[in-house]
Amino acid sequence: MQAWQSTINMWPLLGVAVIVLGFLLRLHPVLVVVAACFTTGFAAFMPVEALFASLGTAFVKTRNLPMIYLLPLAAIGLLERFGLREHAQAAVARMRSATAGRLLIVYLAVRELSAAMGLTSLGGHPNMVRPVVAPMAEGAALLRNPELDDEQRQRVRAMAAATDNVGLFFGEDIFVAFGAIVLMQTVLRAEGIEVDPLHMALWGIPTAISAFIIHAWRLRRLDRYLMPRAGGSA
């Protein structure tokens, strides 16, 4: 009996495989998640009634989440309708020393420091990168090279999105109340290893500094890539 209780059932992890396969096949996300839930539930021998009850409870708890995302998107869309992107580009045009790389390096520093303090919602692709950061970086690139081609414009936008990702990912690892740090502490404590969350967060500082240096170097290379063709590109 004790041997049976100590056996870990790995079959519920099939739900993860269903999610990966569904996203690789580019199926509808809602259908993929529901299929993964049913796969995990059946693999864990959950009764059908309990499975539907769990899905219903999760739906009731998260039914207001779409409004949290839709309302900011509507506000940002309204701002773009009245020229937010154009104003952002005009503001950069008044900074004669600004380049796309320098501007994104500043945003990387702000994003990483704010995430390190737990302010992860200050940035983001839909509410900061697309309407503000990317247009400003593109405007700075146009100052140096008024004849940007489409490939160069797409590179600037991609690097703006990547800058937000890098700053958030490595910055939030320094925040002591970050979910991943709490999760690691819980797992280690279950194994009999006591670790101070503050100590774990401090060890994220060298990684964050290294990420900042490496990505800042990539952004400097972006400026070379955006130089006029006559002056040579990287």
Q: Are residues 119 and 165 in the same domain?
A: yes
- Distance between CA 160 and CA 105 in Å, rounded? 10
Owning domain of residue 116: 98-231
Q: Is residue 166 part of a domain?
A: yes
pLDDT at 167: 93
Name the residue among 61, 144, 131, 151 with its Cα closest to residue 98.
144
pLDDT at 16: 86
pLDDT at 30: 76
Q: Are residues 147 and 216 in the same domain?
A: yes
Domain boundary among 18, 38, 62: 62
pLDDT at 93: 63
Indicate the burial class of 141 (C-beta count within 10 angstroms; 0-12, 13-18, 19 or more): buried
The DSSP string of 27-88 is --HHHHHHHHHHHHHHHTT--HHHHHHHHHHHHHHHTTHHHHHHHHHHHHHHHHHTTHHHHH
- Distance between CA 69 and CA 126 in Å, rounded? 10
Q: Are residues 123 and 222 in the same domain?
A: yes
Q: Are residues 129 and 41 in the same domain?
A: no
Q: Is residue 86 part of a domain?
A: no
pLDDT at 118: 83
pLDDT at 76: 60
Domain count, the chain: 2
pLDDT at 146: 83
Q: Are residues 38 and 111 in the same domain?
A: no
Q: Are residues 121 and 192 in the same domain?
A: yes
Q: Are residues 184 and 105 in the same domain?
A: yes
**From the first residue on, what is the mean pLDDT of each consecutive set of 10 residues in the chain (234 residues)?**
53 84 83 85 83 74 56 61 64 72 92 88 82 85 84 92 93 78 78 81 88 95 81 44
Q: Is residue 87 part of a domain?
A: no
Let me know: does 221 contact 99? Beta carbons within 8 Å. Answer: no
Domain boundary among 62, 90, 109: 62
Q: Is residue 21 part of a domain?
A: yes
Q: Are residues 114 and 209 in the same domain?
A: yes
pLDDT at 77: 64
Q: Are residues 219 and 147 in the same domain?
A: yes
Q: Is residue 79 part of a domain?
A: no
